[in-house]
Amino acid sequence: MSIALVILAAGKGSRMNSDLPKVLHPIAQAPMLEHAMAAGRGLDPARTVVVAGHEAERVRAAVAEIDEEAQVVLQSEQLGTGHAVLQARDALRGFEGDVVVLYGDTPFVSQQTLERMIEARSRADLVILGFEAADPARYGRLVMQGETLERIVEYKDATEEERAISFCNSGLMAADAAVMFRLLEKVGNDNAAGEYYLTDLAELARAEGLAVTAVACPEEETLGINSRADLAAADAVFQTRARAELLDIGVTLMAPETVYLAFDTYIGRDTVVEPNVVFGPGVTVESGVLIRAFSHLEGCHVSRGAKVGPYARLRPGAELAEDTHIGNFVEIKNAEIGEGAKVNHLSYIGDASVGKATNIGAGTITCNYDGVMKHRTEIGARAFIGSNTMLVAPVRVGHEAMTASGAVITKDVGDGDLAIARTPQINKTGRAEKLMDMLRARKARQNKGS
């Protein structure tokens, strides 16, 4: 059966107190909308339609980055959830299959839950997703009779008996496309808000004699984001889940609560992550790696057996081969570090390639930027770069070549060559004492004048 996703992302989110559309606020460094789309993607949908409203062009741009095949339609007036889904009708014209309605600000619904909703469609015409609420508060209640959902009752309209029900409405639902849009045409707005509510579909379907049911999921999956506090809580939920998954697959987190993970972080088993490590987007760490404390990784790939940190920074484009060592206060950006190479101390390697088994001395810098353009440095295999070497790109240091400590390398160094490029030392007898006397006298005059 074909599946289409309709993801509602039109709300302003006024409680966020932000110029950014609510669904673009990040959880684990990815827009919450991306989390919702990722869950739906597990159903292998034939079509995905995102309904945008507030700051629609920004939402459209974000959707294009997440899934270039997804369509974005506009809800120019926010007239309720039923009205929002109806805006997807033209985009799904001719589609035959089930429509699953998701919410861009409800990011944690799982693929397994969505699959159970689709499975339930074999027994019912309309499937609602519910959850057992620890505190039902003002959620809409799902009134069940066996497996049949008889009605959805809003809190304000519920009797005391109905308010005692803890099975609550998440708002997510699935139905045949033709059935859903036919029912949506019947939804009215005779309510205090004057809005068209998606929840009315349950009653309309029952009135037609259609089968309506509900499936349950953990309450955590239905967590909606309406404020900065909700956003922080959602990020904490994600981090707790992600850390637990890493521990389950054989990753050692020495202080799990201090490790921050991104939406797409991948870490292989038998890797050890020390405390206070931050993973930004786009990080892949293979098995058997050691990530030492206070390191920051983003947009990089770390191969088996590598050691990173402490206090290391791997920026986008950093590619570490097997058994590399990246040490304390080292920054790597857009550079390939060859197998067994070492960059252990206080160095910056950017826009570069470093060959197999090469040693980069402390304080080495690839001077890659001339103020306008970036230039590349190439260092061969088994080279030795002396401490405090400045490599002024574009430049190449050959295989098994060496640079002297303190060298400023502006020309290529051939294979096996030793490059010495520094001004000869000159000692001026007694000049230090005279210079200090002069400086102290100048300071005294300045203090007297003030």
Choosing from 296, 325, 345, 399, the catalytic residue is 345
Q: Residue 45: which region, alpha, beta or left (left: phi > 0; alpha: psi -120 to 50)? A: beta
Task: Say which amino acid occupies 448.
Answer: K
Active site residue 325: no
- How far is it, in rounded angstroms, from Cα 339 to Cα 416? 19
Question: CA-CA distance, 118 to 333, in Å (whole number)?
Answer: 45
> Distance between CA 173 and CA 239 in Å, rounded?
27
Query: Can you tell me the distance from the alpha carbon of 336 to that of 344, in angstroms, rounded to the nearest whole number?
Result: 15
**How far is Cα 205 from Cα 139, in angstroms, rounded to an integer?**
21
Residue 37 CA, distance from chain mean position: 13
34 CB-near residues (< 8 Å, 6+ apart)? 62, 66, 263
> Residue 339 corresponds to which tokens in the numbers above?
């197998």
| Alpha-carbon torsion (87, 92, 96, 99), positive or negative | negative
- C-alpha to C-alpha distance for 327 and 344, rounded to whole angstroms: 4
CA neighbor of 126 nearest in space, from 219, 204, 36: 204
Q: Show which residues are catalytic.
A: 345
